[in-house]
Amino acid sequence: MRQSGTDGIGGSPPRPDGALKARGEFAYSSDLWHEDMLWGTTLRSPHARANILSVDVSEALAVPGVHAVLTHEDIPGSTHYGLEIADQPALAIDRVRHHGEAIALVAADHPETARRAARRIKVAYEVLTPIVTEEQCLDPQTHGYVHEPREYRARAHGNICHEQRLVSGLGVTDEVRAMADVVVRGSYEVGMQDQAFLGPESGLAVPAEDGGVDLYIATQWLHVDRRQMAPVLGLPEEKVRLTLAGVGGAFGGREDLSMQIHACLLALRTGRPVKIVYSRDESFFGHVHRHPARMTYEHGATRDGRLVYSDARIVLDGGAYASSSPAVVGNAASLGNGPYVIPHVRMHALALYSNNPPCGAMRGFGAVQAAFGYESQMDRLAAALGMDPVAFRQLNAVRQGDRMPTGQEIDAPAPVAELLQRVKDMPLPPPLDPGRTDGPRDPHTPGGPDLRQLPGALSNTTHGEGVVRGVGYSVGIKNVGYSEGFDDHSTARVRLEVIGGEPVALVHTAMAEVGQGGVTVHAQIARTELGVEQVTIHPATTEVGSAGSTSASRQTYMTGGAVKLAAEAVARQLIERGRRRYGWTLNDLTLAGGRVVSASAGPLVPIADLLGDEPIDLTREHHHRPTAPFDPETGQGFGHVQYTFCANRAVVDVDVDLGLVKVVELSAVQDVGRALNPSAVVGQIQGGCTQALGLAVMEEIVVRDGEVRNASFTDYLIPTILDTPPIPVEILELPDPNAPYGLRGVGEASTVSATPSIVAAIREATGLALNRIPVRPEHLTTERPGVA
């Protein structure tokens, strides 16, 4: 991928893939092709919990055009894998634990042939009652175990996958409660959200002459995929080679394996390339989702509005397998009281194994669910105290130098109060204007409003008589990078050489470009540090060291940091070459404009002349400062490398008769440390807000008795351009001294903070409690006073 121009960090050069995607010319993983490839498909369980009595593949093998049918008995290596805990079978062995679990694989010369053969596989089940509720999960003696009663890791037991307790100050005791003049209690629920990326899971596995396999795949982390795949394939890691294919969105849903192992198993068995592309409904079964949550919060405050204590319990449904649930629990516990100073805290967060669909990483990663709980509480406390909700938050907001409930000092700017003030001061959208003359109108209501302004838009469901406006505020906190002692690092190789008489930089990392714009930023960093225009981004592969996952808002911080280190090293080596050749003694030498430049003496020599036919090629690793695990019982510890904050204001119109909601505007103010690419930063914040809007009012995977009921975009609704309001964004740039260029990760904070602001605005418009998201029309009609 070639980029040129003079834009370094701080500029907003166009994305090299942007125009291709807009024109429909970008090559995604589903576009991969090999002339002699086969097509793979997967047989999945129709049951949430069952014992497998037998699997008969004979009829499938007899279908003309079928080249292989595989079950767990055909796996050459380990039978299980997992992102953090190896508890998930590559193919079901003796039982199924969730609706849609993979049981068998088919490879055929046509995708429809493969699907037809898969339907002929006969599986005999003993169907069991699924374990799906919190009460069932926590009573395994009565309802059973999702997994055998053994520990996959030390802190898992029964149907509890992982738990984290946190206590700060005096905890919450009768003595502490007595310090509070006002106490507010609330119970909250968050539904299961899907990442809903538009590019379904897909990839192409090609068997290699050395007995290994090459996989071209849409993923978020090439190296962790390989780490999980190689033992199952029975191959050393060096014989499992991955190259990133075009990714059509991710948001955490590609952090776990989907079809990677399956395609490679089929390719190695048949000796032919095998392509797998999920259908939309299979995609809903093929990746993890956002954890649904049930939360209880109790807060106490003094009459003057100072928070005294917080007592909280967060229960996350992790589904059938662990995925990243332990880390999500850590986030929920450590961030679950928000960006507020609270002297006394008690928190218990846990994730359960159940027979519901597996849940794992999704944008916001445990902080989203908690923010809905604690921000709802902040509004209720403000109301109970008769205070403005923004002023109440500002009074209790953390600042640099304060400590989180984990005991960790916030040692970088924490402008929470300023963010809230800025978002409050942004101009409000004009009120609903019944006197506008443009646009379609109800012919029976002369002078009535433009119907496009109303909830329900042109459906003619209302003429505005039941529409009420509400305004709501919220603020959220999110960690950046991997936490709790994980050795988070990233690798970058930078090569500087002369091509066609011009100096050209090659940047090679394993970073997964999933739409976040990392390839653009890497080129900007290389231009800035090397003073060249031409930058080539090498395709991401496992031929270079790991870049970690494109998640946790970490790639610009971590892989951008690695590119910076490698480019700086290349620049130093080139300047040293010039010192040796020309005898330079100046100490103010840099690279700029294609030349070695001295601040005092001016331009010295072209980079191309100094390089000649001797390229400089260096690789560097970037590690962030070390973190530590949280204490299991107290939650104390330096667990997070960086915090990021965002504040939102939502303006909504609600038709209180029909239960329809229109988000009129969703404003955001976020501290980004330093905006390396301001346009991309604003786009990330707006995208995060849009996903938060979906969770607030429309997105939910409906699961009944473990069965997914709406595995399609017909029934699982996501915001379209017509649902997405104007999203004005202001960015603050208060550098973090510990981060490359002072930047903060930006991808998730707005997803954490925006949902509560929308629900707060709906509450203000309706006067309803609204303790569950997404808010549905029936919640706005059946909950109204006097409505049955």
Predicted confidence (pLDDT) per residue in 356-365, tens digit: 999 999 999 9
Q: What does the DSSP 8-state code read for residue 521?
A: H
Read off the pLDDT of each residue in 657-668 and give the average, rounded to a whole number. 96
Bridge partners of 489, per DSSP, are 623
List pLDDT tens digits, range 432-441.
Answer: 765 443 444 4
Q: Are 33 and 39 in contact (CB under 8 A)?
A: no
> Does residue 154 carry a pLDDT above 70?
no
CA–CA dist 511, 530 (Å, integer): 21
Residues with Cβ < 8 Å from 740, sequence gap 6 or more?
Answer: 557, 560, 561, 564, 622
Look at residues 204, 261, 259, 210 and name the one whose alpha carbon lies nearest to residue 231.
261
Strand order in the sheet with 95-96: 95-96, 50-56, 122-127
So what's the pLDDT on residue 282? 98
For the beta carbon of residue 178, count every other beta carbon within 10 angstroms: 10
Angle at 764 between CA 761 and CA 767, to 5 degrees: 135
Here the tokens at position 59 are: 């009829």
List pLDDT tens digits, range 367-403.
Answer: 999 999 999 999 999 999 999 999 999 999 999 999 9
So what's the pLDDT on residue 436? 43
Instruction: Provide, rounded to the nearest whole percent, the portion of the chain with pLDDT above 70.
Output: 95
Listed in order, strand segments (DSSP E) in 627-762 are 642-655, 660-671, 703-704, 707-708, 729-732
Residues with Cβ < 8 Å from 421, sequence gap 6 or more?
Answer: 390, 394
Q: Are 530 and 570 in contact (CB under 8 A)?
A: yes
So what's the pLDDT on residue 149? 76
Look at residues 422, 553, 548, 425 and name the one whose alpha carbon lies nearest to residue 491.
548
So what's the pLDDT on residue 440? 44
So what's the pLDDT on residue 3? 45
Q: What does the DSSP 8-state code read for residue 397?
A: B
- 3 state DSSP class of 560: helix
Q: How confident is the model at residue 448 (pLDDT cuts 50, 70, 90)?
A: low
Here the tokens at position 346 are: 């008690």
Sign of the four-CA dihedral 113, 115, 116, 120: positive
Average pLDDT, the chain: 95
Helix axes 749-766, 367-385, angle to 10 degrees: 40
Sign of the four-CA dihedral 150, 152, 157, 161: negative
Q: What does the buried/exposed string (b/e) look like for 487-522 if buried means 16 or more CB atoms within 10 Å of the residue's CB?
A: ebbbbbbbbbbbeeeebbbbbbbbbbbbbbbbbbbb
Q: What does the DSSP 8-state code read for residue 647?
A: E
Read off the pLDDT of each residue in 2-31 and give the average, rounded to a whole number. 86
Bridge partners of 669, per DSSP, are 647, 730
So what's the pLDDT on residue 446? 54
Q: Are 369 and 291 in contact (CB under 8 A)?
A: yes
Q: Are 676 and 744 in contact (CB under 8 A)?
A: no
> Does residue 450 carry a pLDDT above 80?
no
> Does residue 444 carry a pLDDT above 70?
no
Here the tokens at position 391 are: 């002023």
Q: Are 528 and 11 in contact (CB under 8 A)?
A: no
- At 747, the amino acid letter reads G
> Does residue 787 carry a pLDDT above 90?
no
Virtual torsion, Cα 26, 30, 36, 40, nearest 10 deg = 180
List pLDDT tens digits, range 477-514.
Answer: 999 999 999 999 999 999 999 999 999 999 999 999 99
Look at residues 508, 771, 480 and name the one whose alpha carbon lies nearest to residue 619.
508
CA–CA dist 624, 604 (Å, integer): 35
CA–CA dist 393, 422 (Å, integer): 13
CA–CA dist 732, 417 (Å, integer): 13
Q: Are 316 and 351 in contact (CB under 8 A)?
A: yes
So what's the pLDDT on residue 454? 87
List pLDDT tens digits, range 545-585.
Answer: 999 999 999 999 999 999 999 999 999 999 999 999 999 99
So what's the pLDDT on residue 153? 56
Terminal CA-CA length for the chain: 60
- The continuous run of DSSP H or E covering 689 comes out as helix 678-697
Look at residues 287, 223, 221, 256 and name the one whose alpha carbon lies nearest to residue 44.
287
Here the tokens at position 463 are: 């003429």
Read off the pLDDT of each residue in 315-324 and give the average, rounded to a whole number. 98
Here the tokens at position 745 are: 């990760």
Read off the pLDDT of each residue in 339-361 and give the average, rounded to a whole number. 98
Residue 12 burial by CB count (10 A; 0-12/13-18/19+): exposed, middle or buried?
middle
- At 551, the amino acid letter reads S
Q: Are 60 and 120 in contact (CB under 8 A)?
A: yes
CA–CA dist 64, 77 (Å, integer): 29
Bridge pairing between strands 642-655 and 616-623: unpaired
CA–CA dist 355, 662 (Å, integer): 35
Here the tokens at position 741 are: 């260029």
CA–CA dist 447, 254 (Å, integer): 51
Q: Are 758 and 693 in contact (CB under 8 A)?
A: yes
- 3 state DSSP class of 304: coil
Look at residues 158, 104, 90 and name the one whose alpha carbon lies nearest to residue 354.
158
> Does residue 2 carry a pLDDT above 60?
no
User: Which DSSP string do the residues of 106-133 spell out, in sequence order?
Assistant: EEESSHHHHHHHHHT-EEEEEE-----S
So what's the pLDDT on residue 152? 56
Helix/strand/coil percent split, the chain, to 5: 30, 25, 45
